[in-house]
Amino acid sequence: MKKLFPSFANPDTWRNNIFETTTKEQWQRIREKILKRDNFVCQYCGFKADKWQIVHHIDGNPNNNQEANLMVVCQMCNLVEHAGMGCILQGIVDLYKKSEFTQNEVIIKTREMRANGKTDEKIIRELGLEEKAEFQQDYNYLKPLFGFVTSRKASDYKTNIALEYEYEIIRKQKPANRQQTKIGEYSKL
């Protein structure tokens, strides 16, 4: 798995700031190819789902659709990867200076505990998240922090649907089927 840490998209590469060279139809073909290549599995946490997975541009350039620059990520990991969006625009990611787990494990354990009905406060305690931090658009500042996807409702309803879908996949699995083949990799419904 690739190491996840809070980051942000460079404003110079935001979709509304650049001319995109790929049509929607071309992008859908590329997206489907990458989803299949990565077996619909998030490359950060191992979460597998047939819906709502994101094809992420590693270098942040939406015009760089080379296969080596694309990978599948889940909604939760995407919110941390784009902490500015998760913290500021969506309002559902909190940052912490300390954790007893890696960022990848924070995502995996949060998803599992949230699916089992645990509150944010209980999850935060179990993860050992301490010393809340504010978002700053600075890579060096963000890199050592830990992003926590809260249970607050996102400003975008699609994000809420996607997150609930992730939790529902875990809830519907019988406890014996929740055993992970790799850290965080769950079988599809």
Per-residue confidence (pLDDT) for residue 63, from 0 to 100:
85
Per-residue confidence (pLDDT) for residue 176, from 0 to 100:
52
- d(CA 74, CA 71) in angstroms, rounded, equals 10
Higher model confidence: residue 173 or residue 166? 166
Per-residue confidence (pLDDT) for residue 62, from 0 to 100:
84
Q: Quick one: what percent of the chain has pLDDT higher than 90? A: 76
Give the three-state DSSP class for 114: helix
Provide the token pair at 184: 């965080």
Q: What is the mean pLDDT of residues 153-174?
A: 93
Q: What is the mean pLDDT of residues 158-171?
A: 96
Q: Are 104 and 146 in contact (CB under 8 A)?
A: no
Q: Are 108 and 187 in contact (CB under 8 A)?
A: no
Whether 187 shows a pLDDT value over 50: the answer reads no
Whether 180 shows a pLDDT value over 90: the answer reads no
If you search the block for the tokens 């997206």, which residue do you land on?
31
Per-residue confidence (pLDDT) for residue 119, from 0 to 100:
98
Give the three-state DSSP class for 16: helix
Whether 16 shows a pLDDT value over 80: the answer reads no
- Whether the full predicted model's pTM is greater than 0.95, yes or no, is no
- d(CA 145, CA 135) in angstroms, rounded, equals 10
Which tens digits make up the pLDDT trace of 101-132? 999 999 999 999 999 999 999 999 999 999 99
Whether 188 shows a pLDDT value over 50: the answer reads no
Whether 183 shows a pLDDT value over 50: the answer reads no
Q: Where are the alpha helices (DSSP H) in the chain?
A: 24-37, 75-81, 83, 103-115, 120-127, 139-142, 157-172
Q: What is the mean pLDDT of residues 58-82?
A: 94
Per-residue confidence (pLDDT) for residue 14, from 0 to 100:
59
Q: Are 38 and 73 in contact (CB under 8 A)?
A: no
Which of these, 172, 189, 158, lies nearest to 116 by C-alpha position?
Answer: 172
Task: Please state, rounded to an integer, the average pLDDT across all residues of the chain.
Answer: 89
Which tens digits make up the pLDDT trace of 19-56? 567 888 999 999 999 999 999 999 999 999 999 999 99
Provide the token pair at 121: 């406060």
